[in-house]
Each structure stands twice: as C-alpha cells, then as structure tokens.
Amino acid sequence: MPPKTHYFTSEPFDPATARQIEVVLAGRALAATTASGVFSPSRIDLGTAVLLRTLARRDPRSDLPRRGLAVDVGSGWGPLALTMALLAPAVRVAAVDTNQAARELTALNAERLGLDNIAVMTPAEARSLTRIDALWSNPPIRIGKDALHDLLGNWLERLAPDGHADLVVQRNLGADSLQTWLVALGYPTERLASAKGYRVLRAAPRAG
Ligand SMILES: C[S@@+](CC[C@H](N)C(=O)[O-])C[C@H]1O[C@@H](n2cnc3c(N)ncnc32)[C@H](O)[C@@H]1O
C-alpha cells in the first residue's frame, strides 16, 4: 500500500490551514499562500530550490523560450509554475497536479500575482498538451518507480523537437538510475548540476 500522503489524496484545500509564506521567485520577494495537504507548505523545497538556482545561474531567463508552452509536472502550490510565468510572460504555462488543493493554491497564487499566463490542470485535462517547449518538474518520486517511469515517459514524448525537460531528483532516491533509464529509452539526458544531495537532469527529445 502506498503511504497516505498528499500524493494520493485529492481534496480542496482547507482555508483554516492556509498560511502566507515569504518566498523569492524569479528574483522577486513575494508572498505565497500554502496549506496543509500539499507538498512543502512551509518553504520552497530544497530540491525545488536547487532546480531554480541551477537554471537561474545558467541564464537570466532560466533557458525558457520567448513563446510557446511550458509545463510544470506536479506543481504543488506552484513555485516552479509561478517562476516560469514570471520569467516568461508570453509563454503559456500549464501547472499540472493530481492534488486538488495544490491546483487551487497554484491558481490562487497566480491570481494574486496578476499572472494570466498560467492554466492549472488535472493530468486528464493536460492530455491534449503537445509540443512542450520547456518542462520543469520536481517529480513525485514516492509514487514508485514504475509509476514514475510511466509518468515521465508519457510527458517526455510530448516535448517539441527543440524542447527540453529539467528534472530535480534526490541522489539517494534514484537520480542516477533515472538518468540511465531515460538515456536507455532514447532521451539524451545530461546532468546539469549536483548539489545538496540532488541532481538536476536535462532530458532532450528522442531523435527522429
Ligand atoms: C515533489 S512534489 C513537487 C511540488 C512542487 N512542484 C514543488 O516544487 O514544491 C510532486 C507533486 O507531484 C504531484 N503528483 C503526484 N502524482 C502526479 C501525477 N501523476 N501527475 C501530476 N502530478 C502528480 C503531487 O501531488 C505533488 O504536488
């Protein structure tokens, strides 16, 4: 039986547990709303921070395209999707999560920041998304290896020819074997960074 955590529940967020946290996203100090029942409600998760820092150090726009489609797979309360939308206002950002509270919080945070380029979706609603230019994810490792492989395989086949996927995974939760698996599946995958026990992996589309 999988552990009963936010990964496996889908309830509206409970306003009684809502809180404001101070965060820095896209170089801006902001207030974000989080609540119980979503991933890392008290701060930006360390792995997410490593991903954001790695991409920001490479490029002021974190290698996002000027236009097109960007997807955050597993948005939680929205740190990655909000960053994409702030950095790339002309890009359509899809924030996808199975968890209803996470989707509601991402939508609330986008609205409060005046971001009109984020669409929040369930995985079923996101099925029609194709030609993804940039995919960012701190993926739900704890769903198990087979489910994670299904999830990532399904998303990566939808990358645009010039697109890429940036993933952050804890080293001791299988980052290196995930990289090996992605390469074996035909997705050229490089390690962009290794910091604080996390690997940042960049996967490119399959050739042909
Ligand atoms: C490690 S958390 C990252 C959350 C957020 N991106 C962050 O950095 O704080 C992974 C997220 O994936 C979501 N998730 C689990 N299974 C999923 C699936 N099949 N499709 C999309 N999201 C999923 C979880 O609900 C959780 O919010």
Q: Distance from the CA of 3 to the center of ligand 1, in angstroms?
A: 15
Q: Distance from the CA of 73 to the center of ligand 1, in angstroms?
A: 6
60, part of any domain? yes
208, part of any domain? no
99 lines ligand 1 (CB under 6 A): yes
125, part of any domain? yes
1, part of any domain? no
Helix (H) or strand (E) holding 153, with range, is helix 145-156
pLDDT at 1: 39
pTM of the model: 0.95
User: Which atom of ligand 1 is closest in space to residue 75's alpha carbon?
Assistant: 6
pLDDT at 147: 96
pLDDT at 3: 44
110, part of any domain? yes
Beta bridge partners of 91: 68
127, part of any domain? yes
143 lines ligand 1 (CB under 6 A): yes
- Is there a contact between 86 and 72 (Cβ–Cβ < 8 Å)? no
22, part of any domain? yes
Domain that holds residue 81: 6-203
Q: Distance from the CA of 184 to the center of ligand 1, in angstroms?
A: 24
pLDDT at 208: 72
pLDDT at 10: 72
pLDDT in tens, the chain (208 residues): 344 456 666 788 888 899 999 999 999 999 999 999 999 999 999 999 999 999 999 999 999 999 999 999 999 999 999 999 999 999 999 999 999 999 999 999 999 999 999 999 999 999 999 999 999 999 999 999 999 999 999 999 999 999 999 999 999 999 999 999 999 999 999 999 999 999 999 999 998 7
CATH code, domain carrying 192: 3.40.50.150
> What secondary structure does DSSP assign to 37-85, as a single string?
TSSS-SS--HHHHHHHHHHHHH-TTTT--SSEEEEEES-TTSHHHHHHH
Q: Distance from the CA of 140 to the center of ligand 1, in angstroms?
A: 5
Q: Distance from the CA of 175 to the center of ligand 1, in angstroms?
A: 16
151 lines ligand 1 (CB under 6 A): yes
pLDDT at 38: 95
How many folded domains does the chain comprise?
1
Q: Exposed (0-12), middle (13-18) or buried (19+): which is 174, by Cβ within 10 Å?
A: middle
